Amino acid sequence: VHLLRIFALWGLFRSIGNPAGSLVFALGKGKLIFFWSLGQMLIQIPVFLLGSRYGVGGLAVALLVCAIALPLPQWYIVIRPLCDAQFIEYFKQLAVPLAISSIAAVVGYVMALLFDGNLLRLSVGSLFGGFSYLLLSRWLNRVWFLAIAELILGRIRSKKLLFLN
């Protein structure tokens, strides 16, 4: 359970680890992302080797540390030179979905604690966490929410059904 918690956090940060991919390729700067990935690998290998000295748990923590630490240099080396995005501007785009996900995860976790049985806990936690995520996204990340609604429902129906006019 302890390792899965660490890996869940790692997955959360890793999933936002390359928001620059589309920007880089749209601007035709594929070589820049290649060199960034190469540099990232050269940093990660010693960190992973050090973490592996402490077993699987140490390796999991090393993965998490890299996932948390590398977005800042990525902004400085890749994002800032390509589009002149300021630090606050860039990380705000990551912070809002991260905050929504974190709050929804806490809601799902707390609701799951109220029940016995693994399958029931998973179902209740997923249901409440997912519903919380959608509600918070509609309120705090409206652009994403509307894009997903349009994808699922179509443009006209999504606006009528979700009162987004």
Give me the pLDDT at residue 154, please. 76
Give me the pLDDT at residue 156, please. 66
Which tens digit of pLDDT belongs to each residue from 121-137? 999 999 999 999 999 99
Check pLDDT > 70 for residue 11: yes
Q: Which segments of the chain are extended strands (E)?
A: none
* 17: Cβ contacts below 8 Å, ≥ 6 apart: 67, 70, 71, 74
Residue 115 per-residue DSSP state: S
Give me the pLDDT at residue 106, please. 94
Which tens digit of pLDDT belongs to each residue from 52-95? 999 999 999 999 999 889 888 988 988 898 888 898 988 888 88
What average pLDDT does the segment 106-119 reach? 95
Across the chain, what does the average pLDDT equal?
A: 86
Q: CA-to-CA distance for 135 and 162, rounded, in angstroms?
A: 11
